[in-house]
Structure 1
Amino acid sequence: MIKLIVTDMDGTLLDDTRKLPDDIWKTIEELHKKGIMFAVASGRQYQTLADIFDRVSDEMLFMAENGTYLVYHGKPIATNPIEKLLVKELIETGRKIPDAYILLCGTKTAYAESSDERFLSHARKYFNHIEIVDDLMELDEEVLKYTIADFRDPIHNSIHYFDSFRDRCKPAVSSDLWLDVMGLTANKGTALRTMQEKLGISNDETIVFGDYMNDFEMMQYASNSYAMVNAHPEILAVSKFVTRLDNNNNGVIDTLRSLELVNG
């Protein structure tokens, strides 16, 4: 019996205009009536996710910032921050990358030291709450995720700046613009295991949906992992199943209907 549905957001639940499916609220209501928890696992900050799902956020599970910040029924459950000295080294490195901008993600908001409007216009698509500070080095808060907006393509540019850090943290390209860096044990797969243990839900009772490389550990770990048909090739390869429809055609909800978890 399925008890937990976990979905990524961008490229998975959201369409390419970052819009939720029209019938998402009806779907969540039907799942909850059946005792099935609806959860989001996203690289987005918790505050943004809570804003998006404001109607039902207190009834949901959020694995925000790529699983580094877990919130259940509106209450923080666990964090998995980056070590403070390492954060400073990452900032120093990020400042050297051409055409790239740093965001530090905390539990309360995201922090940037650049007011470049091109950067901020892209960042605000995913981070509703951003505070501009004079110097990121002076920030005295847990950093859950270090993020780079790389306008030259993170796969071919910024990720190589972090090769020497791989024994202390984990860089992951999350889109064609964004590179995320978390602690070595921080990923959506680890977050999913943590929440399953806390909720007493088994892997066989869980379904997950994803599309990109920051979903990799979650898709690899889950017994019932559904890669979006539009997913990255490595996600398609590691997942157990593939959706019939893509993110622009409500592939997540279509799959839930085909499994008879919600009404068609």
Structure 2
Amino acid sequence: MNSPHHRPSPLSPTGPDIRLVVTDMDGTLLDGDGRIPDGFWPLLNRMERRGIVFCPASGRQYATLREQFRRAAAGTVFIAENGTYVVQDGRELSSDVLDRGIVTDAVGTVRELSAQGVDTGTVVCGKRSAYVERTDAAFLAEVRTYYARLELVEDVTAVDDDLIKLAFYDFGRAEEGLAPALKPYGLTHQVVLSGEHWVDVMNPTANKGAAVRGLQRRLGITPDQTVVFGDYLNDLEMMDTATWSFAMANAHPEIKLRARHHSPAHTESGVVTALASLLGRD
């Protein structure tokens, strides 16, 4: 479970003093079929009994995360849209709204790529809903995995909502296709590979790590009392917020280097295994 690059923190006989558990979803908590493992729910019950705050942190939409964790008790915190929108019990804790200028400009760049034959699509993410103007079944099937609340519109740049993230899908490898085209926006904004096919554009202050640090300050929780799990580049900053930072066995190499500990792959219930070890017995 420990990374060869880091020394583990000492465990007390009853385990570490954990107060906050944060986990990415895709490639991390979710199994190979995109489901929450059955073994997670008893651990969530144990965390709730101990007063440990649980927090999914994902590029997914708040509405999607809330639906996935409808069995969770009150107090669960949701870090949605890669840290741009943080909600607890239906109440916004923080958000990072995009300027309309970057929305129009970046969407225009991707529209031009599409006109040149690149197979890509745009999701404009707002607090209330996500919005798309590409409507074919193949694209919508990919989008609906992450966005339970979705509206089809004629022009995604003209929607009436607070916009917090731009998510661009590449049916090829985003690292080779979309990412180079969007790289210039990295001079003023966050441009993040959030998966093999997805590139996200957000404000420069927005990332999962910043959201976790804000939550720690709000709750009076230290890095030594925090556990985080992640697998991809949009989890990098989050690895620095916790003494108990775990990279999945299937993680991107940069995540493995940044994390203090390693856990089994998401297809082997790695989060469940590591959490069970950390929590010990009641």
| Greater relative contact order (CA < 8 Å, ≥ 6 in sequence) | 2
Whether 1:88 aligns to 2:107 is: no
Matches of 1:147 and 1:262, distance apart in 2 = 39
3-state SS of 1:108 partner: coil
TM-score, normalised with respect to structure 2: 0.90
Residue matched to 1:115: 135
Matches of 1:56 and 1:40, distance apart in 2 = 11
| Aligned-partner residue type, residue 207 of structure 2 | N
Q: Deviations over 1:13-53 (max 9, x none)?
A: 00121011102221111011111111110000000000011
Residue matched to 1:133: 153
Does the CA contact (< 8 Å) of 2:20 and 2:54 recur in 1? yes
Matches of 2:281 and 2:151, distance apart in 1 = 42
Does the CA contact (< 8 Å) of 2:231 and 2:250 recur in 1? yes
Name segments (4+ residues, structure 1) moved above 2 Å.
Answer: 220-223
Shift in Å at residue 57 of structure 1?
5.7
Whether 1:69 aligns to 2:85 is: yes
Larger Rg, first or second structure (1 or 2)? 2
RMSD of Structure 2 on Structure 1 (CA): 1.3
For structure 2, which runs of at least 5 residues remain unmatched after alignment?
1-16
TM-score, normalised with respect to structure 1: 0.96
Identity %: 39
Whether 1:54 aligns to 2:75 is: no
Compared with structure 1, are the counterparts of its residues 247 and 18 closer, same or farther at alpha carbon in structure 2 (3 Å cutoff)?
same
Whether 1:253 aligns to 2:272 is: yes
Does the CA contact (< 8 Å) of 2:122 and 2:166 recur in 1? yes
Whether 1:34 aligns to 2:50 is: yes
Q: What does 1:147-162 correspond to in 2, within 5 Å?
A: 147-162=167-182
Residue matched to 1:45: 61
| Aligned-partner residue type, residue 9 of structure 1 | M
| Aligned-partner residue type, residue 256 of structure 1 | L
Shift in Å at residue 222 of structure 1?
2.5
| Aligned-partner residue type, residue 46 of structure 2 | E
Q: Deviations over 1:118-150 (max 9, x none)?
A: 100111111111100011121132211100110
| Aligned-partner residue type, residue 100 of structure 2 | K
Whether 1:242 aligns to 2:258 is: no
